[in-house]
Structure 1
Amino acid sequence: MINVSILGTGKVGTHLIKACINSPVIQLVQIYNRSEQGLTLYQGLTPTTTDLNSLKQADLYIVALPDDVIKTINLSHLQGLIVHTSGTKSFNILQAKRRGVFYPAQSFTKEKKINFKAVPVCLETEFNADFRVLQNFASMIAQHVYEISEEKRQKLHLAAVFANNFSNRVMGIAYDICKEHQIDFQILQPLLQETFLKTQILPPKVAQTGPAVRNDAETIEKHLNQLKGTNKEVYQILTKSIQEKHGIKL
C-alpha cells in the first residue's frame, strides 16, 4: 500500500485520481486544487483542500498543475516524494526536498474515459532511492513504465506534439472540408483508423501514400487550387516535407 496525494483536478489530475481510486493498493490521502469548484466532485469521497499548508503526510505527491504554476508553489515543508507531470519541465522547478517527474505520454480529456493501464509513463527522480518509490507506484496503475532522462523526455514531448496535436489539426482541416461541402466525415473514419494502425507495424516512411510521394503534380495542383489561406500553406509545407523525406526533386 502506498499513500498518495494529487495536486490538481485538471485533465491529467482527473484521470490520475480515477486510477488511484480504482487501485486496491493505493490510498488516496488527499486532493488539492486551487479552487473549491474543482473539488466538488470529490467531496465526501476523499479529503480535499485548497490550502497547500494543510496537505497531509503522504509517500508521494503528484503535482498535476499547469507548468507556470508548478514553479510558484513551495512544497519544501513536505517529507514525501514530490513529482510533477510536465513533459517539458525539469524536476528542478519543484521547491521540494525530494523531486521527480511522472510524465504520462498521453492526450487527456476530462470527458473521455481512458484505460490508464495502457498509458506509457515516463519517470525520472533526483535520487535513486526515490526512483524505486515512483516506479512502484507507476506499476500499480500502468503497464508500460519507462525511466527516461529529462533530455529524452523533452524530445519525446516534441515528438508527441507532432504525433497528436498536429495530426489532430490536420484532421480538423479534413473535417472542415467535409462540413463545408456537406460530406459525412464518418466516411473518412476507416481511412484514419488504417493510417494509425499502420504505424504499429510499419515505419511512417514506408507507410506513406498519396500524391506527394507519387510526385503527382497534376493532383497536387488541383488540390492547391481548391485551397486558400493557411490551409493552402499547410498543404504546400506537408507536400514539401514528404517529398524531401523521400528524396523527390522539387
Structure 2
Amino acid sequence: MTINTLLLSSSRAGDTPYLEHALPYIEPMTEKARKWIFIPYAGVSMSYDNYLEAVVNGLAPLRLDISSIHQHGDPKQAIRDADGILVGGGNTFHLLHELYRYDLLHLIKEEVAAGKPYIGWSAGSNIAGLSIRTTNDMPIIEPPSFSALGLLPLQINPHYSNYKAPGHNGETRAQRLLEFTCVDPKTPVLAIQEGSALLLQDNKLSLLGDKEAYLFSGVEQEIPVPVGSDLSNLLS
C-alpha cells in the first residue's frame, strides 16, 4: 500500500467557514473511507467535545461517521477500527506530547503506511513531517521527543507568512526557518500558506490550492514553489 495523506496549512482560508475550503480536497479521500477517528489533542483552550462538534459540523456535507479518540476506552483499537484518521490543529507540542503519552505515534505511522488515509491541518500537518522543530507554536509542554510521524522526509511549516509589521523588531518567519537550516542544512522545509495543502498520494507529492509555497533547504532560502507543483523529488 502507499501513503494517502492530505496536509492542510489551516482549517480556514480567509473568512470562510471552518474547513469549508478543504471540502473539495477531503471528499475524494472519503469515497471508500466513511468511518473516521478524530484526534483533538492539539486543542488546549477548548474542550475535546466542542472541538469534535466543530469538526463534525464542518465536514457535515460529506456525511461521515466521525468520533473522537477521547470518547474511546481503548484509543489504539479506535485507530485500528477507523477507516481514516483526522488530526486537528492547535498547539503542536501538546498534540505530540499526548501522542507519546498514549503511545499512539508508532501505531498511526503503521496504519498510514498500510494505506489508511490521514488528514491533518495546522498542528496535524506539522506532525506529519520528520519533527516539530519548525512549528510556529509556543512550547507550552515538553514532549519526550520532537520526532514526529515522518510521513514525509522533510519539515513542514503551516500558516506561512513572511509579513513584518511596521515597527516590529522580532524575526520574520523566513529568518526563523533560516535558523533551522543553519543547524540542519540537509533537511528541507516546505512552508505552506493558509488555504493551501500538500497531498501525498501514489508516491506523488503535490501542492494544492491557489497560493505558492516556499522551500528552505541549506543555502537555498524562501524559494517560491509554484501553484500545482509536483514536489515528488523531495520524497527521496
Rg (Cα) greater in structure: 1
Q: TM-score, normalised by structure 2?
A: 0.37
Q: TM-score, normalised by structure 1?
A: 0.35
